[in-house]
A and B are shown apart, each in its own frame.
Chain A
Amino acid sequence: MIEIKNISKRFNTADGIVEALNNVSLSIADGDIFGIIGMSGAGKSTLVRCINMLERPDSGTIEIDGCDIGKLSERKLRTVRRDITMIFQGFNLLMQRNCLKNVCFPLELSGVKKSEAKKKALELLDIVGLRDKAKAYPAQLSGGQQQRVAIARALATNPKVLLCDEATSALDPTTTNSILELIRNINEKLGITVVIITHQMSVVESICKNVAILDGGEVVEQGTVSEVFTHPKSKAAQNLVFPEMESGSAIINKAGDRIIRIVFNGASATETPLIARMAVQKGIEANIAYASTKSINGKVYGSMLLGITGDKEVVKSAIDYLTRTSDVMAQEVENYG
């Protein structure tokens, strides 16, 4: 259990004081996959760096399983960091070490015997599907493979918590999905609590159970993913759920329509578009109010807002129909606009 209580953090910069975090409180349950989403500069990295005390908050406390880690000595803190490991946007592998030695790194630090460390590292490389790359150097791997090695390294000390700071932001959608899949597996199989920092909606939607929205250093909304994304209350949440609002483009929508939000997360593109098929097969006419989708390698990514004239039943059967296709999520949204 991670309890973040009223933490604030300011930075003195050349342009004056930046309030990176302002009275942030969150609690993250064991075994959760918790998303922290926000625009650039919202304070996400600062928050996650506070969770392992790489950054000390000016005020407030962080408790991990009831232990206030802000009160620990540097030495104790270093032991705690073996339980709260981290992966990064830039992977941050040691470039002069091969993959195996990279995974051994945390074990070396904690004084594990060489032969044992090697055995453990090979097991972990197996888990992330890169056993055959043990002798390869990071420069010889793709970004996705490097992140897998970084994940193996993060798992080496059997952590309780895995912090992911924009771990998939440097990767293409297909690789992103495979990394998220790996993280989900780790969460399920090893029971590790995962904290995911991202600015991408799709990441939160496809993996997180709970989410907090950070805006200007404050938590403006939090709850389960479906709750927050179907009823976005704050402006920041609405901007994330309806990116079109931010860009200011008008949404073609008839008054009184119900709105369904669809997220394509690598669904196979078919010859007949999904919405057209729904109209033919279900007789549900949908008006596309907004669409921002792109097709990569025959897979569709992005989101869409549908306006549907009709009652709850119609909407429900539309959602049932839409979500039958794999990698498509659909939800009715309220508070839109």
Chain B
Amino acid sequence: MGNDIFSSEALFEAWQIIKTQFPLAIWETIYVTILATVFAILIGLPLGILLVAGEKDGILPLPSWLLQILNVIINLLRSVPFLILMILVFPLTRLIVGTVVGTTASIVPLVIAAFPFVARLAESSIREINPNIIEMAQSTGASPMQIIIKVMIPESVPSLISNATIAFTTILGYSAMSGIIGGGGLGKIAINYGYYRYKYLIMILAVILLIVIVQIFQSIGTYLATKTDKRLKRK
């Protein structure tokens, strides 16, 4: 590397690439990450709630074999490295999106990789709820569904928001990796220019942008989690 990464030609070339490719790449990164997070939450949140509610002394006891199977699936999916998982879900991706390359196609493996993680995060949020509150709801005549919708979820909103932020930033990291199999975004730029063509400046810039995006979303998440938490005394 040395000084030549800052030579005037290198800088000029970098500027051209930034102008032409970065806006789209940033947009793709954010769009893929948000969509993947939303889908992962849609699957992971109910699953996480089920893991708590379905326990033997939970509000909606499930057969223990079913609970066991859910746990095994989650653990299995969580232990497969993301790169390999991407390849493994090719058939599923083709079924859903029609192709396995491209930005939209990368959402499928991201969701498959992220929903078990989200389920565990949701599980831990739901477990934080004071069991006496659940008992209160039962003694008030709440049905299991009412307990989930009116007590479990609303009472753990701040914790769920923090955990959604963690999920988002983790998925962002995965999405950068999906550049390898043709997913778009900043990850693709970093790999294409930095790894394949030794344009380190571009790679560094792409990484810095990823860091900035993580910082921004983390700050928003933390702000929302604090703001929604009514347990914090405010005058």
What residues make up the interface of A, taking CB atoms closer than 8 Å to B?
Answer: 52, 54, 75, 77-82, 85-86, 88, 90, 92, 94-98, 105-106, 108-110, 137-140, 153, 157
Contact = CB atoms under 8 A, between A and B. Distances in A.
Contacts of B138: 54, 81
A96 B230 contact: yes
A94 B151 contact: yes
Nearest to B134: A92
B154 A106 contact: no
B141 A78 contact: yes
Interface in B128-145: 130, 132-133, 135-136, 138-143
A92 B130 CA distance: 8
Contact of B140 (A81, A95, A96, A140): A81
A150 to B, nearest CB: 8
Contact of A110 (B141, B154, B158): B141
Name the 5 nearest CB pairs between A and B, nearest first: A81-B141, A92-B136, A78-B141, A137-B230, A86-B139
A105 B157 contact: no
Contacts of A138: 230
Contacts of A77: 141
Contacts of A97: 154, 230
Contacts of A90: 130, 132
A139 B233 CA distance: 6
Interface string B192-235: 00000000000000000000000000000000000011111110
A52 B133 contact: no
Nearest to B129: A95
Contacts of B154: 94, 96-97
A92 B133 contact: yes
B135 to A, nearest CB: 7
Given A88-B132, A90-B132, A92-B132, A109 B150 contact: yes
Contacts of A82: 140-141
Given A105-B150, A106-B141, A110-B141, A95 B155 contact: yes
Given A79-B141, A109-B142, 18 more contacts: A54-B135, A80-B141, A81-B141, A85-B140, A86-B136, A86-B140, A88-B136, A92-B130, A92-B133, A94-B133, A96-B228, A96-B229, A98-B230, A106-B140, A108-B150, A109-B140, A139-B233, A140-B234
B162 to A, nearest CB: 14
B133 to A, nearest CB: 5
Contacts of B142: 78, 109
The interface residues of chain B, by DSSP majority, are classed as helix
Contacts of B158: 96
A85 B135 CA distance: 12
A92 B141 contact: no
Contacts of A75: 143
B64 interface: no
A222 B228 CA distance: 50
B146 interface: yes
B141 A109 contact: yes
Nearest to A106: B140
Nearest to A141: B233
Nearest to B228: A96
Contacts of B228: 96
Interface of B: 130, 132-133, 135-136, 138-143, 146, 150-151, 154-155, 157-158, 228-234
A157 B141 CA distance: 10
A41 to B, nearest CB: 18
Contact of B135 (A92, A98, A105, A139): A92
Given A86-B136, A105-B150, A139-B232, A96 B141 contact: no
Given A97-B154, A140-B233, A54 B139 contact: yes
A62 to B, nearest CB: 14
A245 to B, nearest CB: 34
B226 to A, nearest CB: 13
Contacts of A95: 133, 155, 230-231
Nearest to A105: B140
A105 B147 CA distance: 11
A98 B231 CA distance: 10
A110 B231 CA distance: 27
B139 A139 contact: no
A209 to B, nearest CB: 24
B139 A81 contact: yes
A95 B143 CA distance: 20
Contacts of A106: 140-141
B139 A85 contact: yes
Nearest to B136: A92
Contact of A109 (B130, B146, B233): B146
A260 to B, nearest CB: 41
A77 B138 CA distance: 10
Contacts of B230: 95-98, 137-139
25 contacts: A54-B138, A77-B141, A78-B143, A81-B141, A82-B140, A88-B132, A88-B135, A88-B136, A94-B155, A95-B230, A95-B231, A96-B154, A96-B228, A96-B229, A97-B154, A97-B230, A105-B140, A108-B150, A109-B140, A109-B141, A109-B150, A110-B141, A139-B231, A140-B233, A157-B141
Nearest to A75: B143
A86 B133 CA distance: 12
